[in-house]
Amino acid sequence: MATENKNLSQYDKATIPSAKDFRFGIVVSEWNDTITEGLYKGAYEALVDCGAKEEHIHRMDVPGSFELVYGCKKMQEHRVNAVIAIGCVIQGETKHFDFVCDGVTQGIKDLNIMHDTPVIFCVLTDNTMQQSIDRSGGKHGNKGTEAAIAAIKMAHLRQTS
């Protein structure tokens, strides 16, 4: 596993641009909310830690991970510098997992190609609930934190290129 020997919550603030002048959108799936709330907390705290103003962090909730694409598209209209899509899909016994994961991945990729506001993929696609717990504030840290750092870096890239 990619996160087996890595703590997702560790970052070096000295290597990250200041977030104080950026506005961020965070779109959060309500499905598997114990996981997505942990991811949101990690993202929010990292943004604030890196200088983002609390009033410049805008949250939108959507019912499930499949709806993240539409939510992110709407969030891009709110004049934010970057959007973070937060969701959690856990493998079940049917192909539903595959369809949702593929749809969300392709949808977020399409938003990044079609629009100028970067959308950061923070959707856990795990085999078990325990794997999701481990990556949303558990033993592997928090993927939400990692997504926030990516959002800051992409907002900076957008501004400077």
Helix 96-114 and helix 68-76: axis angle, to 10°?
Answer: 20
Does 78 qualify as catalytic in the annotation?
Answer: no
Q: Read off the tokens for 104.
A: 């969300």
Distance (Å) of CA 5 to CA 49, 79, 119, 135, 139: 24, 37, 26, 12, 10
CA 46 to chain centre: 12
Catalytic residue among 58, 78, 96, 115: 96
The residue count for the chain:
161
Q: Supply the residues annotated as catalytic.
A: 96
